């Protein structure tokens, strides 16, 4: 009966939307977009792999992707060919049944863009249409590749101003005769936008800006930006750009004919510094609906007005139908960073439901009449002093795709219940081109207590008095795969993951299976109704991306991209397979009756850090302290200085690296390896100070590790950490 009603609802919805084709509930034998179907439900109608036989699931084929950076894409399968993307916008095509490589493409990326990539050289997928594979490279070039050969049909530069910190990590979206792509860089100096390129030629068709430009420069590009300008201080930090970059969620809705876009956070983070007189700062942290023919906005809904907390709204959207208040509605299911799960009507953006799914203290709730959050500035305004905010900047949800199973009505995805301490440094800072401009200190709640002794005394004293401090000590973080009732936000079932950095995408199937990975290197198959574990496969490679499934000649396969990376990528958690076995990125494909997965060997034991060279003449404690500040203002986002990081541990530099230090930092000696040059921001004196700090740190690390070796303690036990540098 429930399935019959659902079918009737879909038919009625198609009529109510002007005869448009109703969304298919889940993918079939093909997986035509990274989300599987047009609604990006990450749900499959396939049933050949089920609870009765999943114990026989094994490896069908695998591909070594020859990189150690993050893998976040979900593959696409059309007509027996598997297409996927990887590091920096590489693209691949394989025979989906055998794994035979048909072609691979590597864009010529300007690695100087790494200066503005906060969260790794990742890519979240390709679009396939009209015989072409569309992939966006990290440095903001869109490539249209011949789907049969991988040769370039056209390429187009979609970056508006290359003097800024723009970059690209998202998947393109085909909407009629255009391909739409967003961009990233809100923490740097960008003004966010989405771009539509002609599908056949790559020519610019339209560009929609998220936020206004400086009104002193003349009229805004669109009427909606003129309206948005009223929500900004005329003396806003236009020199920094404002942020808002839509770096992920873009959906084309074939029922309404609208392009739906999630926008990013403000920059710098605090509204009081970005827009001193306040305001909602449209269209930050919003969902917007655009006309794919013209780029004009049809509706908007702002999830976090006046964003203060890096609460992006770019997290994946799911388009489906639900019976709400006695009426079938075409809806968006959306769980952004800010801790709420929203249901909006896709036709007009009307809020239908908004419920918290984690601890939330920045707002007391969402007003159902206005759709606005009920702010709690006493708790959440960190511009007046340090505050512990729930949820934290990593977000209650992030880019890891969730799945919607129409049979059970469950929304299943990775959920992080964690906060962070935030506080500001005084005064306005000058804009820094292609450099971090967020101007806020962030410490995640699992680290707050340990960090207190390293903070300025007045900050530490204020933190201890916060009501949220006790809550942060009681439960610093909980990370789970959760099955949620989207109408209420209530958890139906949940399973804990290995730690707060252990989040992964989800696949559900009509046979009642939920499949997801873990950064521990495991692939899990669960019963959708209960979360009961049915099958576990150890791959030895971290899995963050969402699995997908397809059939070729009647055989069902499950595929997943594997490799640690993304936000916080240098800080490899100890429970990650990347920490113990390295980060050999792979594409793994499974089928019933498949074989065992080859698990990478354990990494060799750590060696004591090399002896540091002598400090240069004239280096003082003040020099080292200055270098420390410069390091954490420019370098620490990529260099974790931990022994198993996937970027170099600078406490273990060899003599040749020390000798070439200024050439690397200022002259771009290692730019081909992804290390950009910094001579436009850092002087020779700055580089010398950073080097002095790292020499000092290397000497301390060596002494610490020698003591551990003598005591028989592991070298990677508790040691000098980033906390000592706040």
pLDDT, residue 637, reads 87
Per DSSP, the residues of 30-83 read: SB-STTSSTT---EE---SS-TTTGGGEEEEEEEE-S--S------EEETTEEE
Calpha distance 103→112 (Å, rounded): 27
The string of pLDDT tens digits covering residues 432-472 is 887 888 888 899 999 999 999 988 899 999 999 999 999 99
pLDDT, residue 717, reads 57
Which among 102, 57, 107, 60 is positioned nearest to 87, based on CA atoms? 107
**Cβ-contact 602, 644 below 8 angstroms:** no
pLDDT, residue 153, reads 98
pLDDT under 50 in the chain at which residues?
1-19, 718-726
Angstrom distances, CA of residue 417 to CA of 125, 389, 509, 527, 528: 27, 11, 27, 23, 22
Tokens of 68: 């150690």
Calpha distance 368→361 (Å, rounded): 18
**391 upstream amide cis, omega within 30 of 0:** yes
- Strands 586-592 and 57-64 turn out to be antiparallel
pLDDT, residue 20, reads 56
pLDDT, residue 439, reads 80
Q: Please tell me what DSSP assigns to residue 87.
A: G
Concerning whether 538 is annotated as a catalytic residue, the answer is no
pLDDT, residue 294, reads 97
Hey, where are the domains in the chain? 17-68+503-601, 621-725
Would you call 580 exposed, middle or buried from its count of C-beta atoms within 10 A (0-12, 13-18, 19+)? middle
> Which helix (H) or strand (E) segment is 686 a member of?
helix 684-711
The SS3 assignment for 380 reads helix
Which among 373, 272, 318 is positioned nearest to 23, based on CA atoms? 318
Which single residue is written with the structure tokens 């490899």? 572
pTM: 0.94
Which among 268, 282, 288, 126 is positioned nearest to 194, based on CA atoms? 288
Calpha distance 640→722 (Å, rounded): 8
Q: Report angle CA 678, 679, 683 to the nearest 5 degrees.
A: 110
> For 312, left (φ over 0), alpha (ψ -120 to 50), or beta?
beta
For 17-68+503-601, give the CATH class.
mainly beta
Would you call 662 exposed, middle or buried from its count of C-beta atoms within 10 A (0-12, 13-18, 19+)? middle
The string of pLDDT tens digits covering residues 556-567 is 999 999 999 999
Tokens of 294: 């013209």
> Which helix (H) or strand (E) segment is 174 a member of?
strand 173-175
Sequence-distant (6+) residues with CB within 8 A of 390 are 339, 358, 359, 360, 361, 362, 417, 418, 419, 468, 471
Three-state secondary structure of 183-242: CECCCCCCECEEEEEECCCCCEEEEEECCCCCHHHCCCCCHHHHHHHCCCCCCCCCCCCE
Which single residue is written with the structure tokens 């450099």? 435
Calpha distance 408→514 (Å, rounded): 12
**Cβ-contact 209, 283 below 8 angstroms:** no
Calpha distance 333→324 (Å, rounded): 13
The topology (CATH level 3) of 621-725 is: Cytochrome Bc1 Complex; Chain D, domain 2 (1.10.760)
Q: Please tell me what DSSP assigns to residue 596.
A: P
Which among 238, 310, 243, 244 is positioned nearest to 276, based on CA atoms? 238
Active-site residue, from 37, 280, 310, 328: 310
């Amino acid at each position: 009966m429930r399935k019959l009603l659902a079918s009737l609802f879909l038919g009625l919805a198609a009529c109510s939307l002007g005869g448009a084709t109703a969304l298919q509930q889940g993918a079939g034998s093909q997986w035509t977009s990274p989300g599987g179907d047009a609604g990006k439900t990450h749900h499959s109608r396939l049933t050949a792999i089920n609870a009765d036989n999943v114990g026989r699931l094994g490896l069908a084929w695998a591909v070594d992707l020859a990189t150690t950076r993050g893998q976040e894409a979900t593959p696409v399968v059309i007509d027996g060919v598997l297409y996927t993307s990887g590091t920096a916008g590489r693209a691949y095509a394989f025979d989906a049944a055998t794994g035979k490589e048909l072609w691979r493409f590597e864009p010529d990326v300007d690695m100087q863009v790494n200066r503005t990539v906060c969260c790794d050289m990742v890519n979240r997928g390709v679009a396939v249409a009209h015989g072409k594979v569309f992939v966006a490279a990290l440095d903001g070039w869109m490539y249209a590749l011949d789907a049969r050969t991988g040769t370039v049909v056209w390429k187009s530069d979609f970056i508006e101003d290359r003097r800024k910190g723009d970059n690209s990590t998202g998947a393109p979206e085909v909407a009629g005769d255009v391909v739409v792509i967003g961009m990233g860089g809100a923490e740097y100096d960008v003004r966010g936008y989405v771009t539509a390129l002609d599908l056949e030629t790559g020519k610019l068709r339209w560009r929609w800006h998220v936020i206004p430009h400086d009104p002193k420069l003349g009229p805004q590009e669109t009427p909606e930006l003129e309206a948005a300008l009223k929500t900004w201080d005329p003396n806003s930090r236009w020199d920094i750009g404002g942020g808002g970059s839509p770096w992920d969620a873009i959906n084309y809705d074939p029922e309404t004919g609208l392009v739906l876009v999630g926008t990013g956070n403000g920059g710098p983070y605090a509204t009081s510094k970005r827009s001193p007189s306040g305001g909602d700062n449209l269209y930050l942290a919003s969902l917007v609906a655009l006309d794919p023919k013209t780029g004009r906005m049809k509706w908007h809904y702002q999830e976090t007005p006046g964003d203060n907390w890096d609460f992006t709204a770019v997290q994946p959207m799911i388009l489906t139908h639900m019976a709400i208040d006695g009426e079938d509605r075409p809806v968006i299911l959306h769980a952004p960073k800010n801790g709420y799960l929203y249901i909006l009507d896709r036709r007009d953006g009307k809020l239908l439901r908004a419920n918290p799914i984690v601890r939330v203290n920045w707002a007391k709730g969402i007003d159902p009449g206005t759709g606005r959050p009920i702010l709690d500035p006493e708790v959440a305004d960190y511009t007046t002093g340090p505050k512990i905010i729930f949820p934290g900047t990593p977000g209650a949800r992030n880019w890891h795709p969730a799945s919607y199973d129409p049979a059970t009505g469950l929304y299943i995805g990775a959920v992080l219940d964690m906060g962070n301490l935030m506080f500001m440094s005084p005064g306005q800072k000058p804009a820094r081109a292609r450099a971090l401009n967020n101007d806020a200190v962030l410490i995640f709640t699992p680290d707050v207590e340990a960090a207190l002794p390293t903070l300025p005394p007045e900050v530490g004293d204020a933190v201890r008095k916060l009501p949220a401090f006790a809550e942060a000590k009681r439960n610093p973080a909980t990370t789970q795969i959760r099955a949620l009732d989207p109408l209420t936000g209530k958890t139906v079932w949940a399973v804990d993951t290995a730690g707060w950095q252990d989040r992964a995408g989800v696949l559900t199937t009509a046979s009642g299976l939920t499949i997801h990975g873990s950064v521990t290197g495991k692939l899990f198959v669960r019963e959708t109704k209960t979360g009961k574990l049915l099958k576990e496969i150890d791959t030895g490679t971290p899995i963050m991306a969402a699995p997908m499934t397809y059939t070729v000649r009647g055989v069902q396969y499950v595929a997943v991209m594997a490799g640690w990376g993304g936000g916080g990528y240098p800080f490899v958690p100890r429970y990650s397979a990347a920490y113990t076995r390295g980060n050999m990125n792979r594409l793994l494909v499974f089928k019933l009756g498949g074989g065992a997965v080859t698990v990478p060997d354990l990494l060799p034991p750590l060696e004591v850090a090399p002896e540091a060279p002598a400090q240069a003449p004239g280096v003082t404690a003040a020099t080292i302290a200055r270098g420390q500040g410069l390091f954490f203002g420019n370098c620490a986002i990529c260099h974790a200085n931990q022994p198993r990081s996937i970027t170099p541990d600078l406490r273990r530099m060899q003599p040749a690296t020390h000798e070439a230090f200024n050439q690397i930092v200022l002259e771009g000696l290692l730019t081909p390896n992804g290390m950009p040059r910094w001579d436009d921001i850092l002087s020779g004196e700055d580089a010398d100070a950073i080097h002095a700090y790292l020499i000092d740190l290397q000497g301390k690390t060596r002494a610490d590790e020698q003591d551990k070796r003598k005591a028989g303690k592991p070298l990677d036990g508790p040691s000098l950490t980033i906390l000592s540098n706040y």
